[in-house]
Structure 1
Amino acid sequence: MTSTLARPDAKTPRRAWAGLAVLLLPVLLVSMDMSVLYLAMPILTQSLDPSATQQLWILDIYGFMIAGLLITMGNLGDRIGRRTILLAGATVFGAASVLAAVAPSAGVLIAARALMGIGGATLLPSSLALISTLFPDDRARATAIGVWTAFFAGGSAVGPIIGGVLLHHFWWGSVFLINTPVLLVLLVFGPLLLPEHRAAGRGPLDWVSVLLSIGGILPIVYAIKHCAAEGFELPAIGIGIIGVLLLTAFIRRQRTLSEPLLDLSLFRRGLFSVAIGSSTVGMLALAGMSYLTSMYLQSVTERDALQSALLGIPGAVVVFVFSMSGARIGRRLGTKSTFVLALSMASLGNLMLLGVGVDGGIGWYIAGSVVAGAGFGIAFTLVSEVAVSSVPTERAGSAVGISETSFELGNGLGLALLGSLAALVFRSGGDFGPTLGETIARTGDNTALAESARESFVTGMHVATTTGAVLLAGMAVIAFFAKSEATAKSAAVAAGSVH
């Protein structure tokens, strides 16, 4: 498969490009909903009064549910039909969005976000896998994947911007309600423009593997999240051990099945392993950076949601542009070298946030988000290409499920680990409330305490984003020393030509 971004092939029917336009709708929404709440959290907190723990669950239950179900939904789509599961997931996602918009309490909102995660888990793998059906030509498919990735990566970056604009004019529930008209377009035009595709000769889904994968991922993520926020407690450690045991049983089972839920042989291919590691670490760092800087712009610099959103435009534009051109860079430099470059740029961008302070440094924020955005955009494009090119068309859904799981798992871990790390540093800085917003609200005329709280938050943000930078740099080193051996198709991604 070529990794260059070609112009739309005249031999490819217009119907295929129209189908791609429809597929971009759920991609934009699912990725946007990873980050759209970053700017909404201060306003939402005032309305629903969630605890600090509930705030984190509101943010990350969505990503955790998607991470736990993506591999299953990718395999299910291969068997029952990718268009069928796409439209079913859109229906669930839309209904859950309405519930989230009118949620009367934090508990209801968490439940609605969990339902959105279930729906979202069907949308990502089926939409990317359908591209291999719509575009049998290698060059046209490379173009389509580049566009898909640009919308996926760009959606996460543009989420806070759209959220800021909506919050400036409407109530916090509007960030969810905006999903419904877009999904209605998908439900109307999807059956007309998207072909149905199901793999012939595939056996039934192994539901034992499904239960083991979900039962392994979610307890581990919960344990990490709880220990990062509250410290090492015996119940949380016990839950984490149960998750490890279930995940171990899942991996062992995959080695014995003729049609495993997770094809472990893919990880023996150097480029695929590098891609999965890059997407996990990349989304972890991006989620942590986006969430903390959004809180910083509103709670520390006291900008409103719209002003904060406007400052995020340069970074969002860069993510989108470099997602479109990332494959071209991969063709010129080679996939492995491009991963090293992209991860290094993302690491540098995170480090540049050290220039941000309580009383200044907005220029450093913009510059850092631009440099990091370029790195994230390039890396995420290559992840999608490597995933699609690693397997035959009939197994595209399951392979994409693996790559998208790494994205969502990284997003959830970024909020849980980096968000909790920043909160831990913040609370250790003085006699503060659970969050900066609550602390400032109760300080009254005590400006010294409010200023101290802001300084402590910035310190926590610096520690968390620097940790993200270190993880990105470590992944760049791993990519540099990774073996280059790959299958013919993966090698084509690196070389930019079909062998």
Structure 2
Amino acid sequence: MTKHSRPITPWRARLGLLVVLGPVLLVSMDGSILFLAMPRVSEALAPTADQALWILDIYGFLVGSFLIAFGNVGDRFGRLRLLMIGAALFGVASASAAFAPSAEFLIASRALMGLAGATLLPSALAVLSELFPDPRKRAQAIGIFAAAFAAGFAIGPVLGGVLLESFWWGSVFLVNVPVIVLFLVSAPILLGEVRSTAPGRVDALSVVLSASGLLLAIYGVKNAAAEGVSPFPVVAMVTGVLILTWFTRRQSRLTQPLIQFSLFRDRVFTIAIITGLLPLAAWSSIAYLAGMYLQSVLGLEVLFAALLALPGAAVLTATCVITPAVVGRIGKRTALILTHFSIAGGLLLMIPAGVGGGTGWYVASTAVAGVGYGISFAVVADTAVGAVPVERAGAAGALAETSNELGNALGIALLGSLAAVIFRIQGPELAPTLVDTLQLPSLTPAAAAQAKAAFVAGLHTVVVVASLLHLALGLVSLRWLPRRTGVAEQSGASEVRPERGRRSVTETMGRPAG
């Protein structure tokens, strides 16, 4: 059961939705806002190649590692309380990052931002399930939530480019502070507290196991891909996998687990969660590499490079908003399949982009892939929240957001490292990155051309790999997901039974009846 501190009225529900969108926008935006700003950060703080990746990666790693834990904490001890604490911490960490004097300090500040961001997303999503108990209205609200989340990822590089035209690199973090202050003032008035009336306890060991296992496993894979196989990353990777295995087995023995693994028996839920991870992995890696391509290979100004991302951002955001209504007509099966094929097709449009030019192909690629990204944001969140009783909405929402955030971090760590490997093999071997190579004072035109060609080869390799992964998952979805079971699907949302069980998401795959 859940306990509300005040009654829910239509106007309060709408205003509450607007209030929670601010932190949601910031948390997702800060996952991508550095994509165009990294050249400036590199000039100012001179991070090593490994530190540069950690500046990008650590935020997503921390968000993804702690989302599940904080989703459960919010469900059991108060979502508004956790939102307020997390928002305040996020504001402080943002200000700290803005004035970071060194690469190490910036990494630490980004880590604190990630920890705070992990408190915000699941509680914000769970609040929507409380404010909009009707499945249709909830699906619409989650579509708007997903649009804000997607818009944050999409406009992060754009906003970063605009700010960098007039201000120093730290402005990309300082812009968070006024939004956080507005939230801290408005949230207690409009939202009120919501918590379970029987909160139970959060298993501390599970929290430690999930966070440490994810961090070690991802670090090991990233380090091995970027620096080559050596004993330390292999040990870290194996240790992380073993810890995650321990975590998984422990959940089956707990009465109140952090992750309800029985949900994955449902094929639609499983495909939806994977759909939360893979598109973000592709999006984050391509967005980061494309930002470097536009600036360092084609020589575009940062603002112009940012503006080129607007068409794709508009398509992505609009798709999030209209997806709940469309899914109500075509069903989740078709939507999930369309997600992967449209992303694969969009990514492949980057192949013709080369050293001599390719801005048109970049815009077309982001626009076509944006349809798939938008569908994935909306469908994954609604599927997860609709699959569980309302008092577990925070934990389910955390699982959906975890797949998004881990996809974002893994995309940069793994696919970004793949591009780095190709650059190391085909480049002039003068420096570990393209930016470092182009800044060498004695660089010859031939070496510069070779470095740019090697970077483009790495970008194309990542595009092909990501496209093949999406094609494979699209084919799996086509074959694995049931066409129809004869049960009506209500606006793409699953229904929760009165006895607080859940109807299988697979039961809601087909078109709405009559």
Common fold by TM > 0.5: yes
Alpha-carbon shift at residue 199 of structure 1 (Å): 1.0
- Which residue does the alignment assign to 2:12? 15
Alpha-carbon shift at residue 443 of structure 1 (Å): 5.1
Moved more, 476-485 or 360-369: 476-485
- Which residue does the alignment assign to 2:388? 391
Alpha-carbon shift at residue 332 of structure 1 (Å): 2.2
1:105 to 102, 105, 109: 102
Indicate if the aligned counterparts of 2:437 and 2:443 stay in contact, CA closer than 8 A.
no
2:479 to 478, 481, 485: 481
Indicate if the aligned counterparts of 1:272 and 1:386 stay in contact, CA closer than 8 A.
yes
SS at match of 1:378: helix
* Deviations 1:191-210, CA, capped at 9 Å, x for gaps: 00012111122311111111
Higher normalized helix content (fraction of residues): 1
Q: Confirm whether residue 93 of structure 1 aligns to residue 90 of structure 2.
A: yes
* Deviations 1:373-407, CA, capped at 9 Å, x for gaps: 11110122100110110001100001111111111
Q: Taking structure 1 as reference, are residues 454 and 181 closer, same or farther at Cα in structure 2, changes over 3 Å only? A: same
Q: Confirm whether residue 43 of structure 1 aligns to residue 16 of structure 2.
A: no
SS at match of 1:488: coil
SS at match of 2:73: helix
SS at match of 1:204: coil
Structure 1 segment 369-384 matched on structure 2, within 5 A = 369-384=366-381
Alpha-carbon shift at residue 431 of structure 1 (Å): 2.3
Indicate if the aligned counterparts of 1:131 and 1:141 stay in contact, CA closer than 8 A.
yes
- Which residue does the alignment assign to 2:166? 169
CA distance in 1, matches of 2:62, 2:443: 43
CA distance in 2, matches of 1:148, 1:494: 22
2:284 to 287, 291, 298: 287
* Deviations 1:430-483, CA, capped at 9 Å, x for gaps: 223111111111154621211111111111110012111111111212222224
Q: Taking structure 1 as reference, are residues 445 and 49 closer, same or farther at Cα in structure 2, changes over 3 Å only? A: closer
CA distance in 1, matches of 2:254, 2:339: 36
Higher relative contact order (CA 8 A, sep 6+): 1
Q: Confirm whether residue 367 of structure 1 aligns to residue 364 of structure 2.
A: yes
CA distance in 2, matches of 1:154, 1:355: 27
Moved more, 357-366 or 65-74: 357-366
Gaps of 5+ in 2: 1-7, 486-493, 495-501
CA distance in 2, matches of 1:257, 1:288: 37
- Which residue does the alignment assign to 2:437? 439
- Which residue does the alignment assign to 2:409? 412
Q: In structure 2, what residue type is equivalent to 1:475?
A: L
Q: In structure 1, what residue type is equivalent to 2:267?
A: G
SS at match of 2:57: helix
Alpha-carbon shift at residue 238 of structure 1 (Å): 0.9
- Which residue does the alignment assign to 1:188? 185
Alpha-carbon shift at residue 498 of structure 1 (Å): 9.9
- Which residue does the alignment assign to 1:7? none
Alpha-carbon shift at residue 493 of structure 1 (Å): 5.4
SS at match of 1:431: coil
- Which residue does the alignment assign to 2:422? 425
Structure 1 segment 438-457 matched on structure 2, within 5 A = 438-442=436-440, 444=442, 446-457=444-455
CA distance in 2, matches of 1:90, 1:227: 35
Q: Confirm whether residue 490 of structure 1 aligns to residue 505 of structure 2.
A: yes
Q: In structure 1, what residue type is equivalent to 2:162?
A: V
Cα RMSD (Å) = 1.6
**Alignment TM-score, normalising by the size of structure 2:** 0.93
- Which residue does the alignment assign to 1:141? 138
Q: Taking structure 1 as reference, are residues 14 and 498 closer, same or farther at Cα in structure 2, changes over 3 Å only? A: farther
Identity among equivalent pairs (%): 46
Gaps of 5+ in 1: 1-10
- Which residue does the alignment assign to 2:466? 468
Equivalent residue pairs, number: 489
4+ residue runs of structure 1 moved beyond 4 angstroms?
A: 495-499
